Amino acid sequence: MKLLEKRAAALRAALERHNHLYYVKDAPEISDAEYDRMFRELVDLEEGTPSLRSPDSPTQRVGAAPLPEFAEVRHRSPMLSIGNAFEEEEVRAFDRRVREALDVPEVQYAAEPKFDGLAVSLTYRNGVLVQGATRGDGATGEDITPNLRTVRSIPLQVALPKETLEVRGEVLMYRKEFEAFNARQRAAGEKEFVNPRNAAAGAVRQLDSRITATRPLRFFAYALAHFSGAHPATHSETLRLLADLGFPVCPDADVVDGAAGLLKYYERIGRKRESLPYAIDGVVYKVNRLDWQEKLGFVSRAPRFALAHKYPAEEQSTEVLGIDVQVGRTGILTPVARLKPVFVGGVTVTNATLHNEDELRRKDVWAGDFVVVRRAGDVIPEVVRVQQPGPRRPENRFEMPKACPVCASPVVRVPGEAATRCTGGLYCKAQRKQTLLHYASRRAMDIEGLGEKLVDQLVERDLVKSLADLYGLKIETLAELERMDVTSSTNVVGSIDRSRQATLNRLIFGLGIPGVGEEVAKILARHFQSLDTMLAADWATLGAEKEAIRKDNAKRKKRGESLVEVPLEGIGPEIMESIEKFLDETHNRDVIQRLRKAVAIQAPAAAARSSTGAKTFVLTGTLAGMGRDEARAALEAKGHKVTGSVSKKTDFVVAGEEAGGKLAEARKLGVKVLSENEFLDLLKSL
């Protein structure tokens, strides 16, 4: 038995070494036949003696039996998106903001190509890959561990037997391998994919990992989200550590100085973009020092220390077959060009937005024209200009309809705006559908199972005429609809019932008020504490009060006096006007009043009503008992504020494992520092 164990271990080590040489170093040392012989020997050993099998064995790369569904994974720290820049001045402004925030004359940046793939997270414990997950919505992803084990450039084990680490990176397909894969699909009469990114995303989300194993997937690591050992001091050192551990990292990554270095790197990668083996749509800049990254923190859902600099959009020409109108969630009518299919920006495009009537007239687009279509990244394709006019008969000229094409209600041009809106409100089925989908989304009321197909039927059959009608749906009613049975109907009704308990900010966000995103909804919930207070607000007075306090604070700052908190800070006059208009609509107020009866709202202001008042917290390091998102949500639910940087206004800094620059800043400023246990005790008493 010992001899068998020794031989199996030797084969596993040898096969993983040759995998690394072939897929990461691009320098194979043995023939495919020799590799296959060793692999077959290991398979025979493990089949003959099942106790020899282990999750880190190369034999696990062939895939396993299909899963019934993906389990949910809550990320230890959010997998955030990065802000975009398209112009040189935006890059210079980013560098300027970073320097001013850090109060330093120059900053060193790590720069690397921006892969056009799928972001994933890999967790290793005791040196073994134990979990792989998709990015999902940033806070929660899907457990795709069996699928990621089939990707041969992902190490199944690393030389850190006593450490825990979480590596983040991108799964993608090389261009040539994608073309060969599509050729095989075509020859077999199977579905072809429009671009490498879609093919990679579809492969890693297969319930049957044996299918994933047949796809030519690659992996590049670009971040170390968690490491229980000695953490590197810079991002570039992190990449070297990852490479030393056996992870493939981008060979075109570099370290540059200041804005000039960033722009030179952008130009250099741009020149070799077409010769790279993989698709990229830009480059990514990150402040190299990790303690400076932590000090800079985050704004909304993006880091202040990073920027994605996109390359110019790809453009192609095609014919406009016709011009239709789409009605959005807020009732805006958008002219959309129906196009002769054209491949642009990595996908086949059949529709492109013309934005609004003024823009359409400015570009002078008619049906039958040949136009230039642009697409960049995930941006909706747009018509850039007319390349060659068509016959331009009277019937080819677009006219904005006088009535909504969905509900036949009159349409109006909003004074002072380019938008034309349907006046039908929730009576309009197009607006109703989008409103329901938004309300049910994960970041709003999180009603699982209420997807597009079901919403279409609910609206078309007039089973749901407003958001409040959702709470009157019966299992037997849903079971009569297409693709529904008693089990799925029971699940949907159960999910609707669970949404009857909701935080105020989620409900406000779910209402779909134009301009009100998640962060604005949180600000509104903290300020008003209840729907009744928000409905009774005098928005003109609030706006005047904000402006007066701002002017007074400017004087206080010059005198060195403490500043007064500005109400609804972060909400500008345009959004306030949008909220006021929404709440002034009688049918919107009626729906809100009905929702108040159906939903038990958890007020976020317990702390704000206490004698100590609302507090400002900063979270740093890794919390073992809960993720930062969970801790943030718990504090915000009690009416407290969580910020990304430490200042004299900070009341508490919660320091988990590997707390860095924010902890040092707190000690320097004399801010109270809480351990995780102290924080949990305080949380109970707030």
Query: What are 658-667's pLDDT values in tens digits?
Result: 677 788 888 8
Q: Which two tokens stand for residue 478?
A: 């849903």
Least confident of 34-38, 41-45, 167-171, 268-272: 34-38
User: CA 153, CA 316: separation in Å to the nearest integer?
Assistant: 35
Query: What are 529-544's pLDDT values in tens digits?
Result: 888 999 999 998 898 8
CB neighbours (10 Å) of residue 296? 21
Q: For this structure, is 2 an active site residue?
A: no
Q: Return the higher-pLDDT residue of 133 and 348.
A: 133
User: Is 430 in contact with 407 (CB distance < 8 Å)?
Assistant: yes
User: CA 544, CA 227: separation in Å to the nearest integer?
Assistant: 49
User: CA 340, CA 317: separation in Å to the nearest integer?
Assistant: 10
Q: Return the higher-pLDDT residue of 279 and 261.
A: 261
Does the pLDDT value for residue 371 go beyond 70?
Answer: yes
pLDDT the model gives residue 171: 96
Q: Return the higher-pLDDT residue of 604 and 212.
A: 212
Mean pLDDT of 137-149: 88
Give phi and psi for 634, each to the nearest 5.
Answer: -65, -40
Q: How would residue 401 be classed by pLDDT, with cut points 50, 70 and 90?
A: very high
Q: How would residue 605 be classed by pLDDT, with cut points 50, 70 and 90?
A: very low
User: CA 504, CA 637: separation in Å to the nearest integer?
Assistant: 9
Q: How would residue 607 be classed by pLDDT, with cut points 50, 70 and 90?
A: very low
pLDDT the model gives residue 604: 59
pLDDT the model gives residue 28: 77
User: CA 169, CA 117: separation in Å to the nearest integer?
Assistant: 9
User: CA 428, CA 431: separation in Å to the nearest integer?
Assistant: 6
Active-site pick, 2, 6, 114, 264: 114
User: CA 559, CA 553: separation in Å to the nearest integer?
Assistant: 10
Residue the block writes with tokens 């006059």: 573
Mean pLDDT of 587-594: 88
Query: What are 83-137's pLDDT values in tens digits?
Result: 889 889 999 999 999 999 999 999 999 999 999 889 999 999 989 999 999 988 7
Least confident of 349-358, 439-448, 621-630: 621-630
Q: Which domains does the chain have, with CATH numbers?
A: 2-53 (1.10.287.610), 84-310 (3.30.470.30), 315-421 (2.40.50.140), 425-499 (1.10.150.20), 506-602 (1.10.150.20), 616-685 (3.40.50.10190)
Mean pLDDT of 34-44: 83
Does the pLDDT value for residue 481 go beyond 70?
Answer: yes
Does the pLDDT value for residue 606 go beyond 50?
Answer: no
Q: Which of 195, 342, 192, 214 is nearest to 279 (CA)?
A: 195
Q: How would residue 379 be classed by pLDDT, with cut points 50, 70 and 90?
A: low
Mean pLDDT of 228-254: 93
Mean pLDDT of 157-171: 91
User: CA 167, CA 238: separation in Å to the nearest integer?
Assistant: 10
CB neighbours (10 Å) of residue 126? 12
pLDDT the model gives residue 301: 67
pLDDT the model gives residue 70: 83
Q: How would residue 611 be classed by pLDDT, with cut points 50, 70 and 90?
A: very low
With a pLDDT cut of 70, the percent of the chain lying above it is 93
Does the pLDDT value for residue 291 go beyond 90?
Answer: yes
C-alpha distances in Å from residue 387, one per residue of 223, 322, 383, 397, 677: 44, 16, 10, 16, 66
